[in-house]
Homo-oligomer: A and B are copies of this chain.
Amino acid sequence: MKKEISRKCEHDRDNCPVKDVLNRVGDKWSMLTVIMLADHGVLRFNELHQLIDGISQKMLTVTLKTLEADGLVSRKMYTQIPPKVEYTLTSLGESLVPSLLHLYDWANTHMPEIKASRERYEKNISL
Contacts and interface: CB of A to CB of B under 8 A. Distances in A.
A8 B105 CA distance: 10
Given A1-B39, A2-B39, A96 B106 contact: yes
Question: How many copies of the polypeptide does the oligomer hold?
Answer: 2
Contacts of A110: 21, 92, 95-96
Interface string A3-38: 101111111110001111111011110011001001
Given A26-B31, A96-B110, 19 more contacts: A1-B38, A5-B39, A8-B32, A9-B53, A12-B53, A13-B54, A17-B104, A17-B108, A21-B107, A21-B114, A22-B26, A22-B107, A26-B27, A69-B118, A70-B118, A95-B110, A99-B102, A99-B105, A102-B102
